Amino acid sequence: MKKTIFALAVASALTAHAASAEDMVFTSWGGTTQDAQAANWAQPFSEKTGTAVVQDGPTDYGKIKAMVEAGAVTWDVVDAEFDWALQAGKQGLLEPLDFAVIDKAKLDPRFVSDFAVGSFYYSFVLGWNPANFSDAQPATLADLFDTTKFPGKRTFYKWSAPGVIEAALLADGVAPDALYPLDLDRAFKKLDTIKSDIIWWEGGAQSQQLLASGEAPIGFFWNGRLAALQADGMPVGISWDQNITAADALVVPKGTAHKEAAMKFIAQATSAEGQAAFAAATGYAPVNLGSADLMDPAVRATLPDAQTAVQVNADMAYWAEHRDEIGNRWYAWQAQ
């Protein structure tokens, strides 16, 4: 349920002209993530194949549907949320992937389907600004909802219910293996207890700003954004306890004129080398099972795939089936 509001910041990829008939177009969400995708996937692909990759974005699900239905597809590979990709595949909006080109045997099976493979996976984690908590430091999702012990504003991702719903239930005592089907009444009741203390972040940069400034000294974040703050020298508290995984996916809109190139691009993007380089640049986890051996152990230790012992996997198939109905309730609750 990402909101397509992000401005592209991929300086090397922005072009003043439309893609030529020989170019393929890769569409993603913009910002530093697409910078890394351009540098670590698109550039090596172009060097290897001679096919230029034009960057576009942000990802827009309504636009994909309109393109496919009009038979005028101009996006060849798209980075999308995995639950949307599962839903769109069933709706006939995507090309089935060619696993003779894409080696799915080397990919994390959690993030492989007939119409999508993982782009990367990330965790929602509890994060806080230690400067705002001089005594006890937060440690659990229950602490995120405890405004007495840990006062101050909380920050959550505005445009996505996956992860936040699970966090509310876990904080309320639901066991990880009993999360699904999601008890929405219980989750929203728990969220009601801190609703007046929530400041919503609409993009990763905003989440970092809210935390660094202390405006919202505790919240639920994409792990890569906290890693970036740490890399810049800011002390950041991070708890991996019950970190909740979600994933982006690479998909090919049905009717692309560059299907062969699209499959080869996805093969490059999901290769052990491509995933390792992207993970090192972003702090998000690789989906290729061979990437870990190519990475600095110190870097890998900071990624979600090193935190599996305390990890909770969001059920992407469940979200694909229920994303619209839960999304409607999610936005209606925010507006109340």
pLDDT (tens place) for every residue of the chain, 336 residues total? 554 333 333 333 333 335 566 799 999 998 889 999 999 999 999 999 999 999 999 999 999 999 999 999 999 999 999 999 999 999 999 999 999 999 999 999 999 999 999 999 999 999 999 999 988 999 999 999 999 999 999 999 998 889 999 999 999 999 999 999 999 999 999 999 999 999 999 988 899 999 999 999 999 999 999 988 998 999 999 999 999 999 999 999 999 999 999 999 999 999 999 999 999 999 999 999 999 999 999 999 999 999 999 999 999 999 999 999 999 999 999 999
| 124-245: CATH architecture | 3-Layer(aba) Sandwich (3.40)
Confidence (pLDDT) at 189: 98
Q: What is the 3-state secondary structure (H, E, C) of the chain?
A: CCCCCCCCCCCCCCCCCCCCCCCEEEECCCHHHHHHHHHHHHHHHHHHHCCCEEEECCCCHHHHHHHHHHCCCCCCEEEEEHHHHHHHHHCCCECCCCCCCCCHHHECHHHECCCCEEEEEEEEEEEECHHHCCCCCCCCHHHHCCCCCCCCCEEEECCCCCCHHHHHHHHCCCCHHHCCCCCHHHHHHHHHCCHHHEEEECCHHHHHHHHHHCCCCEEEEEHHHHHHHHHCCCCCEEEEEEEEEEEEEEECECCCCCHHHHHHHHHHHCCHHHHHHHHHHHCCECCECCCHHHCCHHHHCCCHHHCHHHEEECCHHHHHHHHHHHHHHHHHHHHC
Which tokens is 239 given? 């708890």
What are the start and end residues of each CATH 3.40.190.10 domain in the chain? 24-121+247-313, 124-245
Confidence (pLDDT) at 228: 87
Task: Check if the beta carbon of residue 225 is closer than 8 Å to that of residue 295.
Answer: no
Amino acid at 69: E
| Helix axes of 184-192 and 164-171: crossing angle, nearest 10 degrees | 80
Which tokens is 164 given? 């936040």
Strand bridging mode 117-128 / 24-27: unpaired
Pick the CATH number of 24-121+247-313 from 3.40.50.1360, 3.40.190.10, 3.40.50.620, 3.30.565.10: 3.40.190.10
Distance CA 210, CA 282 (A): 20
Confidence (pLDDT) at 160: 82
**CA-CA distances (angstroms) from residue 172 to 198, 199, 239?**
17, 21, 17
Confidence (pLDDT) at 21: 63
